[in-house]
């Protein structure tokens, strides 16, 4: 279901380079506040609009493992993680293991989907579409790889490579976690994992794929948030 008077206003929160644990805690705080308001609304005659947020950031070196992933897909032990100054977290999103680092744009939508639509499949596909449209603006043709979430280059060829990973949590139609788009990050750190549990496909970035000058992080962030807003009919 959706609300009779949905709130399509979304607050963008730009955190810059942000610690993973602190950002995760912040997402959880916003998520819990929205859920609490929804419960309050159900028990009240006065219906208060639920807020929506779009967090953008980069993270210091970190590996995160989703609920459906295998710890065997992390190819480093604790000592090796310390040697490259990287953190590791088991987290409450879907998906397998991925890597975050400087130069990668991370977007965490914390939305009450009842303000938009209650269809998690559509939600994931629209996030992918926003990335596909954004990459097209920078001269990169991207698409989907059947059977997998995320955004890929040459998805119909043996040279298929992933440029954007996705993993979300949704509870009471409130979302958290989101997507990670490789812009100009050091891709060698993906060599320490089996990314998303897929061991026969490479990862890539805008910097590696762009036929022209690599856009800066702000340009990519502005394009991506604009495309998300258009697809979801959001107001910033």
Say if residue 205's pLDDT is above 90.
yes
Query: How high is the pLDDT of residue 197?
Result: 62
Q: pLDDT band for 195, please (50, 70, 90 cuts).
A: low
CATH fold for the domain made of 11-232: BirA Bifunctional Protein; domain 2 (3.30.930)
Q: What is the pLDDT of residues 10-23, one digit of tens each?
A: 999 999 999 999 99
Q: pLDDT band for 154, please (50, 70, 90 cuts).
A: very high
Q: Percent of the chain beyond pLDDT 70?
A: 97
For 47-50, which contacts have Cβ atoms below 8 Å and span 24 or more sequence positions? 49/5, 49/7, 49/115, 50/7, 50/112, 50/114, 50/115
Domain-wise residue ranges, the chain: 11-232
Q: Which of 57, 164, 170, 196 is flagged as catalytic?
A: 196
CA distance 172 to 56: 23
Query: How high is the pLDDT of residue 199?
Result: 67
Q: pLDDT band for 211, please (50, 70, 90 cuts).
A: low
Active site residue 57: no
* Average pLDDT rounded to a whole number, residues 125-141: 97
Least confident of 103-107, 125-129, 171-175, 214-218: 214-218
Q: What angle do CA 60, 66, 67 make, to 5 degrees?
A: 155
């Amino acid at each position: 279901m959706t609300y009779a008077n949905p709130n399509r206003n979304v607050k963008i929160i730009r955190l810059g380079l942000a610690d993973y644990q602190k950002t995760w805690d912040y997402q959880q705080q916003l998520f819990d506040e929205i859920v609490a308001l929804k419960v309050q609304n159900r028990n009240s005659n006065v219906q208060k609009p639920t807020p929506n947020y779009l967090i953008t950031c980069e993270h210091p070196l970190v590996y995160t493992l989703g609920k459906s992933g295998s710890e065997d897909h992390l190819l480093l032990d604790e000592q090796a993680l310390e040697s490259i100054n990287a953190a590791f977290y088991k987290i409450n999103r879907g998906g397998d293991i991925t890597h975050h680092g400087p130069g990668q744009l991370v977007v965490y939508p914390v939305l009450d989907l009842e303000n938009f639509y209650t269809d998690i499949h559509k939600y994931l596909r629209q996030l992918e579409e926003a990335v596909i449209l954004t990459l097209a603006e920078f001269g990169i043709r991207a698409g989907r790889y059947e059977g997998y979430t995320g955004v890929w280059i040459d998805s119909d060829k043996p040279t298929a490579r992933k440029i954007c990973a996705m993993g979300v949590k949704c509870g009471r139609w409130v979302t958290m976690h989101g997507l990670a788009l490789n812009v100009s990050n050091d891709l060698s750190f993906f060599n320490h994992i089996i990314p998303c549990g897929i061991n026969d496909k490479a990862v890539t970035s805008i910097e590696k794929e762009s036929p022209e000058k690599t856009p800066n992080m702000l340009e990519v962030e502005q394009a991506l948030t604009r495309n998300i807003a258009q697809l979801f009919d959001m107001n910033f």
